[in-house]
């Protein structure tokens, strides 16, 4: 297990070389799973996280059906090999809570009323964890929902703010999260409305205000990456279709 | 009766009242219900308290036993928090293993105690790496009329203040005549919960208000009036302005609640 570093910030640079308001490198891939209706893979720093969406589909068990809207189910799961000390497989109290708040982070943007009696199922698998898995899971799930063609008011983006050496830092990594003084994950809509907010640690009211602003800035950066990844994915799709058309036309001409 | 229909009717009623600046029970939006705290109600427990917040009624009991520390904190005591939402407390509760709302409640209360460093865990070490005191916090909700979070945090903090470490029972006292010592408490975390309904913020919601709420925000403050934990829940988003306003109200309100707690 990593030990606590003596200093987290030296000359305005964090232990992994980032500035306080810098997020880790992010790579987003859309449509990576073929069985799911929508999917997304994100590498965020050392986090490797997959999200898949099934639905809208029939609800099982039936008694969970809601006559006026679709239900959204969210399952956050950590692979046993995703962390240093093997995690016992299966749901635990932490993953139950994370699943609940993640679901509530996404529900505000989904047009649930369009699909009465149906379910929209979101599955997030953490393959490798390095602080901030719930926020990365939400980012991936949001893109996977769009990829599945679920009607949405917009994307949801999530990002955390930590506090180390008495200073706020955006997107804390493992050491900063483990030994830091606070951790505050936040998710928001494109309009900036907050759909997830949690905090543990110690913040003054003034620090909380600044932390929210900082996290929102981070979310905006992530939103751009999510959007680009979706455009990239569907650009390919459109190009493929156009190429097919051209080929067909050529064939016709040749005849 | 269909739940959706019921809650729509209730929502309309509560919403219409809200437009007239009223609540169903006549309280102001930021007003708490009557609070009654009783401690030392269970003799067999190392510490206990019951809280009545309006008609919400619950009991917190603390048991302490020696056990093994976590490998990453070999010289610190352990806190384990659990909350029971038994079917006797509300028609909405069912028997069986804890569901996500109970898990969320317990984890947020636990975070408040842990992050405010309410208990000096270093003083709970018996033999480093081998034996430490394990503190089991168990909350039993007996009647749910809303805002379990705040009532349960109050009960827990009150019970912890009165908790004694059972050194004699486990023959871990250094000297035969030594009495059981009080648990080392350094901070008093207090939870303040608000719900939003459209643009209105309501503190200490009743069960009916909770049912129609858009979002819920719990702020746990500590004795220095800084913030130890935050949890948002519910299907609707919050604006930054709403969060700021709730934080302000929470910091104000929690001082009053803390005074109530110290009277006990």
Q: Is residue B18 part of a domain?
A: no
Q: CA–CA separation, A76 vs A241, rounded Å?
A: 35
- The residues with which B233 forms a beta bridge, in sequence order, are B216
Asked if the structure places residue B32 within a domain, the reply is yes
pLDDT band at A56 (very low <50, low <70, confident <90, very high): very high
pLDDT confidence bin for A127, thresholds 50/70/90: very high
**CATH number of the CATH domain containing B192:** 3.30.230.70
Q: Which residue has the higher pLDDT, A226 or B16?
A: A226
Q: Where do the domains of chain A lie?
A: 16-246
In a domain, B144, yes or no: yes
**Is residue A136 a contact partner of residue A179, using CB atoms and an 8 Å limit?**
no
Does B9 fall in a domain? no
Enter the CATH code of domain A16-246.
3.30.230.70
Q: Do A202 and B228 touch (CB under 8 A)?
A: yes
Which A residues 175-194 touch B at CB under 8 Å? 184, 188-189, 192-194
For A10-48, write each residue's pLDDT tens digit: 999 999 999 999 999 999 999 999 999 999 999 999 999
Specify the pairing of strand B78-84 against strand B131-143. Answer: parallel
Supply the range of the domain harboring residue B244: 25-263
Tokens matching residue A223 = 């939103």
Answer whether residue B65 is part of any domain. yes
Interface of B with A (CB under 8 A): 2, 4, 72, 100-101, 103-104, 106-107, 111, 114-116, 217, 222, 226-240, 243-244, 247-248, 251
Report the C-alpha gap between A99 and B183 in whole angstroms.
Answer: 34
Best B74, B187, B232 residue to mutate vs chain A (most A CBs within 10 Å)? B232
- Residue B186's pLDDT band (boundaries 50, 70, 90)? very high
In a domain, B51, yes or no: yes
Contacts of B240 in chain A (CB under 8 A): 192, 194, 212-213, 216
CA A34, CA A42: separation in Å to the nearest integer? 16
Identify the residue with better confidence: A213 or B208. Answer: A213
What integer pLDDT is reported at residue A255 of this predicted model? Answer: 73
- Mean of all residue pLDDT scores within chain A: 95
Total count of domains within chain B: 1
pTM: 0.92
ipTM tops the 0.95 cut: no
Using CB atoms, pick whichever of B101, B235, B243 lies closest to residue A197.
Answer: B243
- The answer to whether residue B8 is domain-embedded is no
The whole-number pLDDT of residue A67 equals 92
Angle at which helices B240-263 and A205-254 cross, to 10°:
140
Band (B8; pLDDT cuts 50, 70, 90): confident
Q: Which of A47, A44, A72 is nearest to A59 (CA)?
A: A72
- Give the number of other CB atoms < 10 A from CB of residue B253: 22
Which among A107, A192, A194 is the nearest to B232, CB-wise? A194
What is the pLDDT at residue B7?
A: 67
- Tell me the nearest-neighbour CA distance from A239 into chain B, angstroms: 37
Percent pLDDT > 70 in chain A is: 99
Residue B1 within a domain: no
């Amino acid at each position: 297990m990593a030990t606590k570093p003596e200093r987290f910030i030296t000359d305005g640079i964090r232990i992994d070389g980032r500035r306080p308001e810098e997020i880790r490198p992010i790579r987003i891939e859309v449509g990576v799973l073929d069985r799911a209706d929508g999917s997304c893979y994100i590498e965020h720093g050392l986090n490797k996280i997959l999200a898949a969406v099934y639905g809208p589909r029939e609800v099982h068990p039936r008694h969970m059906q809601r006559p006026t809207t679709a239900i959204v189910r969210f399952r956050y799961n950590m692979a046993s090999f995703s962390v240093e000390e093997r995690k016992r497989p299966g749901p635990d109290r932490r993953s139950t809570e994370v699943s609940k708040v993640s679901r509530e982070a996404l529900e505000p943007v989904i047009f649930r009323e369009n699909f009465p009696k149906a379910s929209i199922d979101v599955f997030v698998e953490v393959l490798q964890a390095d602080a901030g898995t719930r926020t990365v899971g939400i980012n991936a799930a949001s893109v996977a929902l769009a990829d599945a063609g679920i009607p949405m008011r917009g994307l949801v983006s999530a990002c955390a703010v930590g506090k180390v050496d008495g200073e706020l830092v955006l997107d804390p990594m493992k050491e900063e999260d483990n030994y830091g003084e606070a951790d505050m994950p936040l998710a928001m809509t494109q309009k900036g409305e907050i759909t997830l907010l949690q905090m543990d640690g110690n913040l003054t009211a003034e620090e909380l205000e600044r932390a929210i602003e900082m996290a929102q800035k981070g979310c905006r950066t992530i939103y751009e990456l999510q959007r680009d990844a979706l455009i990239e994915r569907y650009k390919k799709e459109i190009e493929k279709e156009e190429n097919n058309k051209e080929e067909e036309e050529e064939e016709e001409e040749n005849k | 009766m269909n739940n959706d229909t019921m809650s729509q009717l209730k929502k309309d009623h509560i919403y219409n009242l809200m437009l007239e600046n009223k609540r169903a029970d006549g309280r102001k939006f930021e007003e708490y219900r009557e609070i009654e705290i009783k401690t030392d109600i269970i003799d067999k427990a190392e510490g206990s308290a019951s809280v009545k917040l309006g008609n919400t009624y619950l009991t917190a009991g603390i048991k302490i036993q020696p056990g093994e520390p976590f490998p990453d904190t070999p010289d610190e005591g352990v806190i384990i928090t659990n909350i029971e939402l038994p079917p006797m407390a509300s028609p909405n509760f069912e028997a069986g293993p804890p569901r996500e709302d109970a898990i969320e409640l317990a984890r947020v209360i636990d975070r408040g105690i842990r992050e405010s460093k309410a208990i000096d865990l270093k003083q709970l070490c018996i033999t480093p790496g081998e034996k430490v005191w394990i503190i089991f916090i168990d909350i039993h909700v007996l009647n749910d009329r809303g805002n379990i979070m705040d009532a349960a945090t109050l009960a827990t903090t009150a019970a912890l203040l009165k908790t004694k470490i059972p050194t004699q029972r486990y023959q871990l006292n250094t000297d035969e005549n030594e009495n059981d010592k009080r648990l080392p408490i350094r901070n008093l975390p207090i939870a303040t919960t608000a719900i939003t309904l459209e643009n209105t913020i309501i503190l200490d919601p009743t069960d009916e208000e909770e049912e129609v709420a858009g979002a819920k925000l719990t702020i746990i403050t500590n004795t220095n009036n800084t913030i130890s934990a935050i949890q948002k829940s519910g299907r609707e988003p919050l604006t930054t302005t709403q969060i700021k306003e709730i934080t302000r109200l929470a910091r104000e309100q929690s001082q009053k609640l803390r005074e109530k707690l110290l009277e006990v």
